[in-house]
Amino acid sequence: MSFVEYGDTIKDGDTAIVFLGHESMFPVKVQHGTVTQTKYGVIRHSTDLIGKKYGSKVTCSKGGWVFILHPTPELWTMNLPHRTQILYSTDISIITMMLELKPGSIVCESGTGSGSLSHALIRTVAPTGHLYTVEFHHQRAEKARQEFREHGVEHLVTVTNQDVCRNGFGVSNIADAVFLDIPSPWEAIGHAKSALKAEGGRICSFSPCIEQVQRTCLAMEEYGFTEINTLEILLRVYNVRTISLQIPDLGKAAEDNSSSGFDSSNPSQQGSPCANLQQGTVQFKSGVPLREVVGHTGYLTFATKS
């Protein structure tokens, strides 16, 4: 296993995802002789995990079961230990596409933070690209290095512990794309420009506040970036539910039922409303939005150096 290459069986040293149920999972480092506690009981790595296929159902000591999943950057994002606020897959996906990343791309990123985006970037630029990521917080930089080693992607990434606003990315004229998620991105635009290839490239800056965006856009213009474009992407998740709504009693006689407008001839039809006039309800499937959703993560500003 590695985060950039699928493997079929679980091996000693792998990072695997234990899936307990709806939106409930956690990562586990597979090691001979180790046990992991879950609410369904104990998982013994040597017997329950190592040598089994990814995607297997594993029965825990109390008789409950879990699925063991192959790690992906998306699963990692949902389960990683937070050292900072992180970027989630919805933002990551538009960043990846708008920066035009693909195998072979050279990317600069700052800050590394908890490495949520870093894993996704590495996955996309592998096997011939490279990520230069800059983190000014010493401990976070060190932790990121360790995770990249454990996930088998250290050859695809260089972590530098310095202040990107003062010292830049530590590379010049080699990047196809630059990504900034720092409090004052406008102070790093000049460094971003010199990190990008002479023939051009793409830049993206993520900021939660509009004032940050305004300063960043001005700085981008000042440094000659073009096609400056700010956008926001929001995820809407729907629960799939079977809903029944009661039919009101309008005092109509039973013989009117036939002309009530509901097609009760094929009540088992999927998707179409199903009238059960005896019980006085209509059933249907619906995609129900969650009661509370994320309304804002950050503004994404993209631009081109040409």
Partner 1 sequence: AMEGGPSARIREGDCAVLKRDEVFKAVSVLRRRKIIFEKQWFYLDNAIGHIYGTTFEVTSGGNLQPKQEVEETTTETKEAGTDNRNIVDDGKSQKLTHDDIKALKDKGIKGQEIVQQLIENSTTFRDKTEFAQDKYIKKKKKKYEAVIKIVKPSTRILSTMYYAREPGKINHLRYDTLAQMLTLGNVHAGNKMIVMETCAGLVLGAVMERMGGYGSIIQMYPGGGPVRAATTCFGFPKPFFDNLHEFPLSKVQSLLSGTFTTETLPAEPEENALVEEESNGLTEEKQTSLQETEEEPTTEATMEINPIEEQDTMDINAEDTEFKENKEKENKENVREKQIKQWERRKKLIEAAALLGEKNADGLIVASKFHPTSLLLSLLDFVAPSRPFVVYCQYKEPLLECYTKLRERGGVINLKLSETWLRNYQVLPDRTHPKLTMSGGGGYLLSGITVILEKGKSDSSSSEALKMEEPSSKRCKLQELPC
Do the annotations mark residue 256 as ligand-binding? no
> Minimum CB separation from partner 1 for residue 114, in Å?
13
> Minimum CB separation from partner 1 for residue 91, in Å?
9
Which segment (117-125, 140-148, 188-196, 251-259) binds partner 1 by CB under 8 A? 117-125
> Minimum CB separation from partner 1 for residue 34, in Å?
21
User: Binder to partner 1 among 34, 214, 264, 276 (CB under 8 A)?
Assistant: 214
Smallest Cα–Cα separation from 116: which of 142, 139, 93? Answer: 93
Do the annotations mark residue 20 as ligand-binding? no
User: Binder to partner 1 among 18, 19, 131, 136 (CB under 8 A)?
Assistant: 19
Which segment (130-138, 142-150, 259-267, 279-287) binds partner 1 by CB under 8 A? 279-287
Q: Which of residues 137-196 bind partner 1 (CB under 8 A)?
A: none
Q: Please tell me whether residue 223 binds partner 1 under the rule CB under 8 A.
A: no
Q: Hey, which residues does 42 pair with through a beta bridge?
A: 37
Which segment (28-36, 140-148, 179-187, 209-217) binds partner 1 by CB under 8 A? 209-217
148 contact partners, CB below 8 Å, separation of at least 6: 115, 118, 122, 154, 156, 157, 159
Q: Which is nearer to partner 1, 69 or 174 (CB)?
A: 69
Do the annotations mark residue 135 as ligand-binding? yes
Smallest Cα–Cα separation from 222: which of 192, 196, 195? Answer: 192
Q: Which is nearer to partner 1, 25 or 247 (CB)?
A: 25
Q: Please tell me whether residue 92 binds partner 1 under the rule CB under 8 A.
A: yes
| Cα–Cα dist 105/93, whole Å | 16
75-78 long-range CB contacts below 8 Å, 24 or more apart? 75/17, 75/25, 75/27, 76/3, 76/15, 76/27, 76/116, 76/119, 76/151, 77/116, 77/119, 77/120, 78/25
Say how many residues make up the chain: 306
What is Dmax (Cα atoms) for the chain? 83
Q: Is 152 helix (H, G, I), strand (E, B) or coil?
A: coil
> Minimum CB separation from partner 1 for residue 255, in Å?
33
Q: Which is nearer to partner 1, 82 or 251 (CB)?
A: 82
> Minimum CB separation from partner 1 for residue 108, in Å?
18
| Cα–Cα dist 220/171, whole Å | 19
Q: Which of residues 230-269 bind partner 1 (CB under 8 A)?
A: 230-240
Amino acid at 282: V
| Cα–Cα dist 246/195, whole Å | 63
Do the annotations mark residue 271 as ligand-binding? no
Q: Which of residues 26-85 bind partner 1 (CB under 8 A)?
A: 53-57, 67-70, 72-74, 78
Binding residues for S-adenosyl-L-methionine: 114-117, 135, 163, 181
Binding residues: 114-117, 135, 163, 181
